[in-house]
Amino acid sequence: MQKLTVIKIGGNIIDNPTELAQFLTDFSKIEGNKILVHGGGKSATKMAQSIGLVPQMVEGRRITDAAMLDVVVMIYAGQINKDIVAKLQAKNTNAIGFSGADGNLIQSDKRNHPTIDYGFVGDVKKVNTPLLQTLISNEIVPVFCAITHDKNGQLLNTNADTIASELAIALSEVYEVTLNYCFEKPGVLSDSENDDSVIPDINSELYHKLKSENVIHSGMIPKLDNCFNSLSQGVQKIKIGHHKMLQNETIVHTLITL
């Protein structure tokens, strides 16, 4: 079975031109099959605030009304996605940028929550594995933004960590998949103010303990929920940390295990 690396990068890397350039250099050097998924929440928040919108978050997830959807589509699927693709092309990585609507690659359902109206937010329903296989087998590097669709003409804002997780799960049927969550921190921290407090290994039992003690909170909760869901459905390995770990296995990071 061929190997596939799925990597998700967070907004803080995207917002820092130097960090982004170094990450894309590291990413371009990864041999074999690979997919990149990017967020961009901070860029979208800045744009929203500049036009008078007040971003709303619940447990690390964005509430997306019609006006905010326009912003995130413009920033995620437009500016950020095409900027990354252009920079990868400059590094001889033959990337193509996608939303979930392109080629019906990722179909979602509009979230139906019993108490919270998330607006135009999607939960992934289906990944078009055969088309992705075709792209990858032709040495295309897919670059996904955090936008999917419902197959009825509606675009949906979708958590980028979840997209990375669902892609990894779907493709684990045909590849040996490693999933990497890269952001500005060296891993999952026991003290969010101390970069030297990396938790090197987290299993599900420790995760529930740390969550109950509020050591792990906010946006790290959906990220880790996605990790354990992925591992339970066939993904081989998951790492969380700074992008330097992509080219150097000895760099401190967090390994997620069942």
Q: How far is CA 2 from the centre of its chain?
A: 22
Each as own residue / partner, the long-range contacts of residues 128-134 (CB below 8 Å, 24 or more positions apart, any chain) are 128/103, 128/104, 129/170, 129/171, 129/173, 129/174, 131/103, 131/104, 131/105, 132/35, 132/105, 132/167, 132/170, 132/171, 133/171, 133/174
Residue type, 98: F
Residue 92 structure tokens: 């001889």
Instruction: Consult the annotation and say whether 41 binds a ligand.
Output: yes
d(CA 249, CA 80): 28
Instruction: Consult the annotation and say whether 61 binds a ligand.
Output: no
CB 88 within 8 A of CB 38: no
- From the annotation, which residues make up the binding site? 40-41, 62, 157
- From the annotation, which residues make up the binding site for substrate? 40-41, 62, 157
